[in-house]
Structure 1
Amino acid sequence: MSERRRGAKAKQESVKRPGLIRRLCLMLVLVSALAWLTPMMVQEALVIWDRPVQEVTIEGPFKWVAREQIANLIGEQINTGFWALDIAALQHSIEQDAWVDRVSIRRKWPDRLVIEIEEQKPIARWGSTGYVNVRGELIESDAAMYQLSGLPTLVAAPENLEKMLQYYQTIAELMYARDLRLASIEVDARGSWTVSLADGVAIRFGRQSLQTRIRRFAKVFDVELRSHWANVSAVDVRYNNGIAVSWRDAG
């Protein structure tokens, strides 16, 4: 190799070494900084993880659910950190209240929980042991609430609930359209249907052809009974082609 080439190569190596040294120094500084910052970052992460919940907002109509009871239940379960809190477990606990239909829980940075409660919407009483909601599901609560005292009562074996609800809507709409207030619908052990009204009139539909008999009652009421309804005591629709009417004692 000529002297000129050896000199050029040595010059190139001398130029490269300072750049390499600078990069190594920079990497060393970065590694040192990271090693110094990592414990602080971990500590800060732990502080954030363990930050207690400072504020809980509970939203809902609270017609049937007791706000204080829900607040106490929540207070017993938010003693963990903001992020460590088991949202699913808290939601499940709140939903154990029979009058709670759905629960939504959101974390709101930095330390707030927002809990939205949707209550059940009862449409009728189920015997003396509960209520029925708008989806036809049982609300297992025997609480006697004054605000719900005007709801009609449904009486039947549990296995007849679905069929009861199918006809309940039809019967309720028919009575409402004629200014007749429904008090109860009962299906006895033999499967015989009786509708009782708030004015004391009992309408017996029997076990068979229920839809046909309901329509027959509506037609006879509209044509014959409406103007005399104050004198009616009971109506029996358990006939193939007609009905029987019992009248109140004029005396």
Structure 2
Amino acid sequence: MAAKPRKEKTVVRSKAPSSQGRSWLRALQRAIAIAGVIVMAGVTGVFVTYLMSLPVEEIVIRGDLKHVKRDDISVIIEPRVERGFLRTDIQRISDDLERLAWIERADVRRRWPGTVLVIVSEEQPIARWGEVGYLNARGDIFYGDVLPEYQQMPQLWSDRRSPGALVERYQLLQTVLMSEEMSVAGLQQDQLGQLSAFLSNGMEVQFGDRDFAVRVSRFIRLIRGDLRNEQIAKIDLRYEQGAAVLPASEKWARASAVRSQGGSYGSN
């Protein structure tokens, strides 16, 4: 049987694109990429324009407000939000609100899609500063209306304008006196740094300008010991050891004598 002749395979080879074709392809790809970027930029621009045009639809004010009226807060906020939700300068609103007398902190936030949330914390006075000011627990001075409910607060004052240090001494003395059923009615510091305390029982205590904690301890030992049952008008602790004591009976006797002579009597 005769063998069949073998068929030879025909291989067709594709021609590689010419350099001119490759250049054209790269140009097309670049054109498509540029067109895509332009389209995306346009879409993004439209979207950003839309976002920037969103208005503030609601202002929410939160906080336990006793001294500041909500209307006073709104008057400050409303002109600041007219430019829109995203254009509103929330830091400026916060700064403006914190300039109000009784506002300690104003936390201003955006809440999507159109709300400005304002959380207000009021100052908490622990003492009066002079006749018209107040002090908070950090020793910061702030000024507000002289309110009747705060007239019984301790009154602090320093001619050196150093309220922070004075508040620390007030807090130390107040804490120590609690166990003696007394409290601080006033604490004053003169230009020389001399510190004088006026207590709730009418006693005046002069602590001087140094070793305050040591002299407070000496004062407590005196009123628990030798002076336990005495009525004292004034104690002067400006000594290295011991103290000078003015009994209340002597004070009133001296005051009566001065008044009978037509003069006036001071605590010095």
TM bracket, shorter-chain basis: 0.7 to 0.9
Higher relative contact order (CA 8 A, sep 6+): 1
Q: Which residue of 2 aligns with 1:125?
A: 128
Question: What secondary structure, in the 3-state scheme, does the structure 1 residue paired with 2:192 have?
Answer: coil
Alignment of 1:202-241 (within 5 A): 202-228=204-230, 231-239=231-239, 240-241=241-242
Contact 1:128 1:142 in 2 (8 A): no
Compute the TM-score of the two structures, normalised by the length of structure 1: 0.76
Question: What secondary structure, in the 3-state scheme, does the structure 1 residue paired with 2:149 have?
Answer: helix
**C-alpha distance in 2 between matches for 1:160 and 1:243:** 28
1:66-102 residue CA offsets vs partner (Å, 9 max, x unmatched): 3221121111211111111111211211121132222
Among 162, 170, 173, which residue is 2:175 paired with? 173
Q: Which has the larger radius of gyration?
A: 2
**C-alpha distance in 2 between matches for 1:219 and 1:34:** 83
Contact 2:98 2:106 in 1 (8 A): yes
**C-alpha distance in 2 between matches for 1:115 and 1:198:** 41
Question: What secondary structure, in the 3-state scheme, does the structure 1 residue paired with 2:55 have?
Answer: coil
Contact 2:207 2:236 in 1 (8 A): yes
1:35-72 residue CA offsets vs partner (Å, 9 max, x unmatched): 89986774454233212111111111213333221121
Cα 1:144/1:216, change in 2 over 3 Å: same
- Which ranges of structure 2 fall in alignment gaps of 5 or more residues? 1-9, 18-27, 257-268
Q: Which residue of 1 aligns with 2:264?
A: none
**C-alpha distance in 1 between matches for 2:41 and 2:96:** 38
Percent of aligned positions that are identical:
24
How far residue 111 of structure 1 moved from its aligned partner, in angstroms, is 0.5
Higher share of residues assigned helix: 1
1:153-180 residue CA offsets vs partner (Å, 9 max, x unmatched): 1111244434323322211112222111
**C-alpha distance in 2 between matches for 1:49 and 1:109:** 13
- Look up the equivalent residue of 1:132 and give its one-letter code: L
Q: Which residue of 1 aligns with 2:24?
A: none
Question: What secondary structure, in the 3-state scheme, does the structure 2 residue paired with 1:155 have?
Answer: strand
How far residue 107 of structure 1 moved from its aligned partner, in angstroms, is 1.0
Question: What secondary structure, in the 3-state scheme, does the structure 1 residue paired with 2:67 have?
Answer: coil
Compute the TM-score of the two structures, normalised by the length of structure 2: 0.71
189-198 or 74-83: bigger deviation: 189-198
